[in-house]
Structure 1
Amino acid sequence: MWEEKNQTFTRDFILLGLLHPSRYGMLFLMLILVIFMVAIMGNTVLILLIRLDTRLHTPMYFLLSHLSFMDILHISNIVPKMASNFISGQQSITFAGCGFQIFLSLLFSGAECLLLAAMSYDRYVAICHPLRYPSLMNHQISVLMAAGCWLVGTINSTIHTTYALHLPFCGTRGIDHFFCEIPAMLKLSCVDTSHYERGVYVSAMFFLLIPFSIILASYGQILCTVLHIKSVETQKKAFSTCSSHLTVVVMYYGPFIFTYVRPKSYHTPGQDKILAIFYTILTPMLNPIIYSLRNKDVLCALKKVLEKALMYRN
């Protein structure tokens, strides 16, 4: 019985974390928890608005609701464990818990990368081929796109999680990160992981560079089309819609590309932690703010819901 407990203990990992047990660490934790609550509330409100307002029942907002749902799950996979470890003073995470965290993180991040590319295609069709929009981008196609993003993300996550957890880990099991992430875990392996790293590069090409190239190509065509539009008001509306999506793309893809495309030897714990903050904590909070504050349709829907709530209360 003791041997089983000892083996179970040695299979646990230690998350060295992002925060130090000090007054500043507690203040930083409070800031992260505020960001976490804003992200949960903002994305939840956005999903509810899209469901309640019939004017938002379009393919673009359907895909946006999936983006918000992914953001809720992604940040919930990271922050609660990080906060509980800091408050309790225990930095351990079980082997199964670490595997579960890797699986969910890869699932949501991979699916979101593909979803952002799908959203750029939606904007491309809406602006460059408006007359063909009902046939090229209808509800059935948007459902297939969203389902494909979830399915491909799940398959990729399952493969990488299975392989990573089967690597032998020798000596210290301290992961110099605030959550279980594959680049940080590869440093703990006592075998040559160069073959697996090449697989990570191939996966990064598929989930990062190829969708990012599609997004750039889509917006290149959109820019050419918008510049030929004579109506200034129409140009402003098109640029406003596209700039929100482009802002999210740059914030999300940039840190991911820098993290997963670099060789393992070029990774430093400090850089990886700072970059991970962007796509695990900051982006889920900023997405609903960017899409709501710069979107008249969403603001009108919010105003309509608030007015109904006030009338019902009175």
Structure 2
Amino acid sequence: MRRLAPTLILVVLCVAAWLYARSQNYFQEKEETLAKLADPGDKEVTAVEVRSADGEVALEKNDGTWQMTKPSRLPVDPSAVEAWISSFRDVAPLSVVEANPADIAKYGLKDAKYELSVGLADGSGKELRIGDELPTGGAYYVMAGGDPKVYKVRSVFVDPLKKTAFDFMAKKAVEYDAAKLKTFRLTWKGETYTMVKSDPARMAHESDWKLNGRTISGADADGVLAKLGGLETNELVRPASEVRLTDPELLIELTNAESDGKETQAVYRGQIDGEVVRIVADGGAWAYAVPVANVQAVADALKEKLTASPSPSAEPSPAASPAVSPSPAGT
């Protein structure tokens, strides 16, 4: 046993040394830290292009406003554009696949799946080409403009850049400001519901409201307005001129209290077309296709609040307040 003692001590020391080396990643190949591929730094981005098999999308920033120029002048959601630009800036490679490839076609980069570019205020630009996904998945072959290298880039950097015109398009059919909104009236399928904020100086959720004369809480009103704000198109918008609104089946009227004491009004009209309601704002250029079920959900939420048992905070004297029904349209 005494003869084995030195050997056992040596084995223990070797195991301890191995465990320490492993904890310090001595046996792992260290990944090279690589710079972002197309970060324009602090330069302002004034143009965006996305080219793919789905077509080409081009956007330009003029006087601080984003406009879509291809495939057509659709309304733009500026937050979607800014999110895309942020993702473009952040693209960082995991490793270099090949420093100077003779044939980029084997990586799917000769006819790239996506060609992405941004134009900058100083006239320069940045480009990225997205090729095939790696056989192992989870990453793509990518090249940057002016750089001959082929990089391996994780999918989490690439997927947010694969956008279409619909992704950049403004989708909300009805816009409202919760701080300014004073009155909301909905007429749908022969019934009218009118919500009036009791304290116009407060946010929608902070003030009680009158719904067809009955008091509801700010939380209940906010829930209804959330459904109103959720009326979004599920397809590309159409020019408003293509929609006939001779006898609209939906009418939404919003009154805002402005800071100067004046009131402004926004009116939206809608026509049922199969499974959607095509909604157009008075004076608006576009028609938004909103599922009929989503419009019905707004009306159902209003009806539910109108017929629900009043809460003590909303109706201090329920016995003195008779039940109120939806108003017939036109009254």
- TM category (shorter chain) comes to under 0.3
Structure with the larger strand share:
2
If the length of structure 1 is used for normalisation, what is the TM-score?
0.25
Which structure has the bigger radius of gyration?
Answer: 2
TM-score scaled by length of structure 2 = 0.24
Higher helix share: 1
